[in-house]
A = this chain, B = another copy of it.
Amino acid sequence: MSVRSLCLAILSFGDATGYEIRKESTDGRFSYFEDASFGSIYPALARLESEGLVTVREEPQAGKPARKVYSITEAGRAEFISSLCEPQAPDTFKSPFLLIALNAAQLPPEVVRRALERRRAQVQEELRLLTDTHKDTACPHPGSGWTRDYGIACMNFTLTYLEEHGEALIKIAEDAASPHTAAAE
């Protein structure tokens, strides 16, 4: 998914500035689709405007550059919906954590322990974000409820699994670090 489609997707949920789009793609709900930086968002937005898929309205502010609030047009919405109907790309999961886990026996136990803790914290943070969302949004799209529940279920499962099996992974690292102790056990 390109930054272009990302902008369209976010704007289909409501007006936003380039700044806000970046925030949503990095932290917010849309982090599950693509994250992008300013350097790609601003040019994408300008191009979308020249193509008539979005419109801009400037809101001057004292001291700051004027906010440029973008809205999706009918043409933009149509392109977005039709892009969703095309054959979807497969979901991907990239895990630096699993690479550490895979090599647990070659690493110092503290590194493995830290990796586990980082991953746990990350999952918990995502869970927090997901459960927070449901308060403020009064069900704008019915799909967002389903999606949120799906996310919460997966994150909860992961968290439990990590808590239940994390020690086993640390033990792999410890046993490899001092095989004698392991043999004595």
Contacts of A122 in B (CB 8 A): 90-91
Residue in B81, B92, B119, B147 whose beta carbon sits within 8 Å of that of A93 in the complex:
B92
Tell me the smallest distance from the CB of A7 to a CB of chain B, in Å.
Answer: 13
Is A88 among interface residues, defined by CB-CB distance under 8 A? Answer: yes
Interface residues in A, total, Cβ within 8 A: 56
Q: A103, B81: Cβ atoms under 8 Å? A: yes
Given A98-B150, A154-B157, A157-B157, A107 and B84 contact (CB-CB distance below 8 Å): yes
- Provide the residues of chain B in CB contact with A89, threshold 8 Å: 96
Residues of B within 8 A of A84 (CB): 99-100, 103, 106-107, 111
A47 on the B face (CB < 8 A): no
Residues from chain B with Cβ under 8 Å of A146 in the complex: 101, 104, 165, 168-169, 172
A158 CA to B97 CA in the complex, in Å?
19
Interface SS, A side: helix
> Chain B CB within 10 Å — which of A89, A107, A147, A151 has the most?
A147
Chain A contacts with B in 127-150, Cβ cutoff 8 A: 141-144, 146-147, 149-150
Residue of chain B at shortest CB distance from A6: B99
Q: Is A46 an interface residue (CB 8 A)?
A: no
25 contacts between A and B (CB under 8 A): A32-B98, A33-B96, A81-B106, A84-B99, A84-B100, A87-B118, A88-B115, A90-B96, A90-B122, A91-B95, A91-B97, A98-B150, A101-B143, A101-B146, A101-B150, A102-B141, A102-B144, A102-B147, A142-B175, A142-B176, A143-B169, A150-B165, A153-B157, A154-B154, A157-B157
Interface set of A (CB-CB < 8 Å, partner B) = 1, 9, 12, 32-34, 81, 84-85, 87-108, 111, 115, 118-119, 122, 141-144, 146-147, 149-151, 153-154, 157-158, 161, 165, 168-169, 172, 175-176
